[in-house]
Chain A
């Protein structure tokens, strides 16, 4: 049996190249471009996805190491046609500027709220500490996540 992983609920074959990253698979094979290739070495956070529900860096994860695991990208969050509450709150708070960090920011917030539905402001800040917003719009992003949690 060929080893497979699941992406947004669909089974998916692993790439042959052993050093292919999960980000290579998502963007270049599956055309799921919500995960961004920013720095490609783990600093910027824009490639973050959920791996078995845990926030992880797609650029720091070999696709082959995801065999048997379940990956969720931002594309899955509005698959039913309506945006996730976090996405709606980001828009309402004016927290999407250039938008490059937004998909990963949404998933960082989703991972936080799944584990901790009523986070403090400090917990929100800690949860997105690995996600850089080059527009430096953190105030509105934190406000939006708080609104999604408490609103």
Chain B
């Protein structure tokens, strides 16, 4: 076996330099996906660049405008336990609290999960629903990408070679959080996820956002659905119409967690249940 070097840089610039110098080096966040890929010989990096000591990638903090900045190395467990998220932003800790099982949540990170970009995982849909921004650093400097433009397909993101995720910024989200995760058992990937938030008063929907996850290569969020529901009484027929529009827009696969037809069949009911839960 060829020796694989392990680097543990003390600052972001050093980490970026190590990654820029060797295109076959891999950044290591919480390891909950990278390490099994190593164990299964799906990856053969020349070096591991651990991000464990990068202080820039830590912390969950409120910004002046009410946004919450989550450092990329923050774990799902710490995000789930945080009380800093207000109103609809609470969909973020709720998503975190349902990822896999306690041991994975203790070490898996939001930045690592975003960089992996698995569409059946919990973060892409939650962050698209929250209008979050993904902060990125790389050899060409720093940039931010809207979550909807970051998750591009199966294990495909907007990250360029040598770039890493440094933080996720969640803007203020009005209303009450929606996070409905339908899975066969705890600790499994979801069959369908409905994430979002809605501000419903006296039966009238003042604002709403709904994204559907685990049902195709990217999370699905439709302006037409949110326009349809906004400003109107949430009558069952209207909610059913919104659910049908989403069911037609998703592009699910047949897999062990449910057939594509099954996912389309249950989605409208889940949308109705999600909205009823915040009415």
A residues lining the B interface (CB < 8 Å)? 16-19, 21, 40-42, 45, 48, 51, 54-57, 59-62, 64-65, 67, 108, 111, 125-127, 129-131
B5 touches which of A18, A42, A55, A56 (Cβ 8 Å): A18
**Residues B31 and A130 in contact, CB atoms below 8 Å apart:** no
B156 within 8 A of A: no
In chain B, positions 24-73 with a C-beta closer than 8 Å to chain A are: 28, 31-32, 35-36, 38-40, 45, 47-48, 50, 52
In chain B, positions 1-17 with a C-beta closer than 8 Å to chain A are: 1, 3-6, 8
Of B103-111, B116-124, B190-198, B239-247, the one with at least 4 CB within 8 A of chain A: B103-111
**Residues A129 and B101 in contact, CB atoms below 8 Å apart:** yes
Q: 15 new A-B pairs (CB below 8 Å) besides A40-B39, A130-B103?
A: A16-B3, A19-B38, A40-B36, A40-B40, A54-B106, A55-B102, A59-B39, A62-B48, A64-B8, A111-B102, A127-B102, A129-B185, A130-B100, A130-B102, A131-B101
Report the minimal beta-carbon distance from A126 to chain B, rounded to whole angstroms. Answer: 7
Cα distance A17–B156 in the bound complex, in angstroms: 29
Cα distance A86–B252 in the bound complex, in angstroms: 44
**Residues A61 and B107 in contact, CB atoms below 8 Å apart:** yes
**Residues B106 and A56 in contact, CB atoms below 8 Å apart:** yes
- Residues of A near B40 (CB, < 8 A) are 40-41
**Residues A57 and B50 in contact, CB atoms below 8 Å apart:** no
Report the minimal beta-carbon distance from B32 to chain A, rounded to whole angstroms. Answer: 5
**Residues B52 and A19 in contact, CB atoms below 8 Å apart:** no
Cα distance A61–B52 in the bound complex, in angstroms: 12
- Residues of B near A111 (CB, < 8 A) are 102
**Nearest A residue (CB) for B50:** A65
Cα distance A61–B50 in the bound complex, in angstroms: 12
Q: Which of B1, B4, B45 has the most CB of A within 10 A?
A: B4
Report the minimal beta-carbon distance from A112 to chain B, rounded to whole angstroms. Answer: 8
**Residues A57 and B39 in contact, CB atoms below 8 Å apart:** no
A130 touches which of B8, B35, B45, B101 (Cβ 8 Å): B101
Cα distance A130–B255 in the bound complex, in angstroms: 21
**Nearest B residue (CB) for A125:** B186
B187 within 8 A of A: yes
**Nearest A residue (CB) for B4:** A18
Cα distance A120–B50 in the bound complex, in angstroms: 38
- Residues of A near B47 (CB, < 8 A) are 18
**Residues B186 and A129 in contact, CB atoms below 8 Å apart:** yes
Cα distance A61–B109 in the bound complex, in angstroms: 13
